[in-house]
């Protein structure tokens, strides 16, 4: 029927004077006859689900990607808070390059492999993970949403993946451990402080609270220059400037939660009044941390020891020599040294050099389950994410973090299926080619 119509049309184009209906009167399409639908036909189409009227919930329910969550987050919190999370250091070149590396890769799927059903689970440092994803350490979670780390730990625990609590946490080591629930096997992220006594105390508290791994971040000799924060006049806690007062009218729920819950402060380290936090951070981290410190930590911590922020092959080798069980190839999400190496591009060389000596993890720019699949294929045992779950947290608290994990899980499952992989172990380097395509215009 379609072919007949095309032929008729092209004939009439050839001979504009010709009357096609005269040539083929029987081919003129009959007008559909109208009738009233029966209730039995309408009934299956009617969907009267209860509408969730809580602010932002519909947007959260409809979010299908991390980008959707990011948009939902931007509506829920004051702009300086959103940009504190969303932004990077200096000109944000590292942040963009980290994303571009994922966008520029090409998958080489295997066909006709007979894959029916996908298992995304994996094991890491003796833990069973429902997917190769870890919610990485991020400071000041209670700033972005009042439940903060408690909500994140609950969501991770329920999903069967670890959450790494930072030294800069706004919920205590003990409370986060309790919030993880039975499924919670969380990690503690340590900044080595000038005060070595306090550093030791933190490690001991993490051990006593049952944390499953110690993550030592080594890329933060000083805090990176986050220009969006400078330009926004960002402060922790936020100041009640005239602009903030206008914002209160636009986002009353966020402000009400901030002002009617416990004052925002570090819950893990004694930093005095919140106003003193900036100065505390500037002075607290020890920029002289060395491989000898790693050896000391190795003696203090008998569980898995992970070095976060490795950016060179020779440092990966030295971390293995110092007795680390794992490393995170990380550019700190582009928040520290700008124009630092792109972790995904570094991954194949590091896997080759130390892949048989320790477990390699990766973060910075991971935004989908397909990104996780690519990193795992190239040698990572799992990926950490920072901003993706913070977007979820801002958009909808614990439910938002759960949604983030669900999005990653669905995307990973679908990608593995399309790649012809039924298990995480089937993800092998031949499935990915890096730097295959120039970035697409947004």
Binders of ligand FMN among 84-103, rule CB under 6 A? Answer: 85
Q: Indicate which single residue of 77, 385, 395, 405 sits in contact with ligand FMN (rule: CB under 6 A).
A: 385
Element housing 422 (H / E): none
265's torsion region: left (phi>0), alpha (psi -120 to 50) or beta? beta
343 binds ligand FMN (CB under 6 A): no
**Which of these ranges, 32-40, 280-288, 325-333, 421-429, lies near ligand FMN under the rule CB under 6 A?**
325-333
Neighbouring C-beta atoms of residue 81, cutoff 10 Å: 25
* Distance, CA of 375 to CA of 378 (rounded, Å): 5
> Are the C-beta atoms of 375 and 428 separated by less than 8 Å?
no
139 binds ligand FMN (CB under 6 A): yes
> Is 332 a known active-site residue?
yes
Q: Closest distance between ligand FMN and the C-beta of residue 229, in Å? A: 10
Sheet holding 359-362, edge to edge: 133-135, 382-385, 359-362, 326-329, 305-310, 213-217, 187-190, 164-166
Nearest to residue 154, comparing CAs of 399, 418, 436? Answer: 399
Q: Which residue(s) pair with 127 in the sheet?
A: 124
Q: Please, which residue, 289 or 421, has the CB nearer to ligand FMN? A: 289
Q: Report in angstroms the alpha-carbon separations of 342 from 128, 220, 282, 334, 402.
A: 28, 17, 26, 9, 28
Q: Indicate which single residue of 168, 177, 179, 370 sits in contact with ligand FMN (rule: CB under 6 A).
A: 168
Find the catalytic residue in 186, 277, 332, 437. Answer: 332
Q: Indicate which single residue of 137, 157, 304, 392 sits in contact with ligand FMN (rule: CB under 6 A).
A: 137
**Which of these ranges, 14-22, 51-59, 358-366, 406-414, lies near ligand FMN under the rule CB under 6 A?**
358-366
Q: Please, which residue, 76 or 118, has the CB nearer to ligand FMN? A: 76
Q: Please, which residue, 99 or 251, has the CB nearer to ligand FMN? A: 99
Show the tokens assigned to 434.
Answer: 């890096």
Q: Please, which residue, 166 or 426, has the CB nearer to ligand FMN? A: 166
**Which of these ranges, 21-29, 112-120, 136-144, 147-155, lies near ligand FMN under the rule CB under 6 A?**
136-144
* Distance, CA of 239 to CA of 78 (rounded, Å): 12
Residues designated catalytic: 332
**Binding region for ligand FMN (CB under 6 A):** 85, 136-139, 166, 168, 189, 217, 308, 330, 332-333, 335, 363-366, 384-388, 390
């Amino acid at each position: 029927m379609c072919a007949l119509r095309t032929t008729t049309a092209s004939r009439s184009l050839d001979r504009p004077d010709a009357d096609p209906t005269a040539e083929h009167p029987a081919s003129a399409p009959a007008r559909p006859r109208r009738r009233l639908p029966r209730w039995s036909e309408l009934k299956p189409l009617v969907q009267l689900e209860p509408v969730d009227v809580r602010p932002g919930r519909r947007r959260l329910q409809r979010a299908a990607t991390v980008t959707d969550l990011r948009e939902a987050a931007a509506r829920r919190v004051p702009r300086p808070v959103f940009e504190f999370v969303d932004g990077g250091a200096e000109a944000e070149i590292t942040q963009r390059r980290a994303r571009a590396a994922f966008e520029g890769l090409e998958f080489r799927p295997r066909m006709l492999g007979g894959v029916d059903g996908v298992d995304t689970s994996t094991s890491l440092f003796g833990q069973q993970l429902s997917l190769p994803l870890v919610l990485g350490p991020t400071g000041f979670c209670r700033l972005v949403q009042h439940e903060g780390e408690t909500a994140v730990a609950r969501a991770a625990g329920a999903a069967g993946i670890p959450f790494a609590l930072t030294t800069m946490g706004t919920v205590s080591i003990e409370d986060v451990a309790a919030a993880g629930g039975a499924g919670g096997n969380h990690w503690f992220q340590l900044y080595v402080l000038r005060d070595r006594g306090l550093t030791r105390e933190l490690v001991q508290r993490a051990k006593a609270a049952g944390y499953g791994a110690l993550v030592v971040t080594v890329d933060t000799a000083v805090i990176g220059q986050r220009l969006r924060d400078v330009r926004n006049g960002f402060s922790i806690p936020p100041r009640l400037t005239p602009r903030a007062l206008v914002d209160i009218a636009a986002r009353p729920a966020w402000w009400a939660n901030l002002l009617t819950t416990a004052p925002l402060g570090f819950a893990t380290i004694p930093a005095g009044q919140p106003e003193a936090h900036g100065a505390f951070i500037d002075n607290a981290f020890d920029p002289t941390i060395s491989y000898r410190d790693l050896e000391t930590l190795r003696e203090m911590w008998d569980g898995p020891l992970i070095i976060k922020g490795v950016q060179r092959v020779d440092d990966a080798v030295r971390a293995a020599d110092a007795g680390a069980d794992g490393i995170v190839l990380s550019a700190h999400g582009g928040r520290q040294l700008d124009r630092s190496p792109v972790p995904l591009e570094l991954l194949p060389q590091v896997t080759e050099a130390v892949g048989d000596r320790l477990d390699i993890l990766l973060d910075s720019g991971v935004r989908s389950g397909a990104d996780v699949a690519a990193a795992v294929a190239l040698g990572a045992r799992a990926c950490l994410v920072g901003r993706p779950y913070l977007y979820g947290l801002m958009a909808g608290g614990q439910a938002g973090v759960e949604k983030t994990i669900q999005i990653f899980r669905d995307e990973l499952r679908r990608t593995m299926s399309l790649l012809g992989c039924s298990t995480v172990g089937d993800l092998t380097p031949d499935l990915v080619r890096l730097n295959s395509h120039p970035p697409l215009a947004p």
